[in-house]
């Protein structure tokens, strides 16, 4: 998903750790420097700033911060791509469910560190979270907030 790269100018009106609100001529914008970026600049309410960055749905990820003729470039690290999980066999999850007395009723869905699948036991439907090694981490009654063993 690509997001729009923008430039904006305004005055800092609120500061929340490494995030802050800039009041611009078009309204307020929430901006994010990252904790590392916040170490590089001094955020202060009332400061006039020029920002560049990538506009996300909820905030501006600031890549350039200019205040009082000081310019700082900020890098935002990308989140890891979980599409490349370590290899794991979904039949391990199915076998673990059966060994615990559940009859799997769906196909295991891969998550970064476990599989999720539906199963039935004693006439009740469960959502199972099964570790990659076959240990059942969680068995939750569907439509209920209680966990079962």
User: Which pLDDT score is estimated for 87?
Assistant: 81
Would you kindly state where each structural domain of the chain is located, as residue ranges? 4-73, 90-148
Band the pLDDT of 91: cuts 50, 70, 90. very high
Domain 4-73 bears CATH identifier 3.10.180.10: no
Band the pLDDT of 103: cuts 50, 70, 90. very high
Q: Do the strands 109-110 and 4-16 form a parallel or antiparallel pair, or are they unpaired? A: unpaired
Residue 129: both structure tokens together: 């979270």
Dihedral (C-alpha) 80, 20, 63, 33: value to the nearest 10 degrees?
A: -50
For the chain, give the number of residues: 149
Q: What is the pTM of this model?
A: 0.53
Which 8-state DSSP code applies to residue 92? H
Mean pLDDT of all residues in 80-103:
83
Judge whether residue 82 has pLDDT over 60.
no
Give the C-alpha separation, 51 to 107, whole Å.
47
% of the chain surpassing 90 pLDDT: 69
For residue 6, the SS3 value is strand
Give the C-alpha separation, 109 to 148, whole Å.
20
């Amino acid at each position: 998903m690509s997001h729009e790269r923008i430039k904006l100018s305004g005055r800092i009106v609120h500061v929340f750790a490494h995030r802050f609100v800039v009041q611009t001529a078009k309204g307020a914008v929430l901006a994010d420097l990252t904790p590392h970026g916040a170490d590089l600049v001094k955020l202060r309410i009332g400061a006039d700033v020029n920002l560049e960055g990538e506009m996300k749905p909820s905030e501006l990820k600031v890549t350039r911060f200019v205040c009082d003729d000081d310019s700082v470039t900020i890098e935002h690290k990308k989140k890891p791509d979980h599409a490349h999980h370590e290899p794991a066999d979904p039949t391990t999850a199915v076998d673990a469910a059966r060994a615990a007395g559940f009859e799997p009723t769906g196909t295991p869905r891969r998550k970064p560190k476990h599989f999720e699948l539906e199963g039935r036991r004693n006439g009740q439907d469960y959502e199972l979270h099964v570790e990659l090694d076959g240990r059942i981490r969680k068995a939750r009654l569907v439509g209920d907030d209680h966990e079962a063993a």
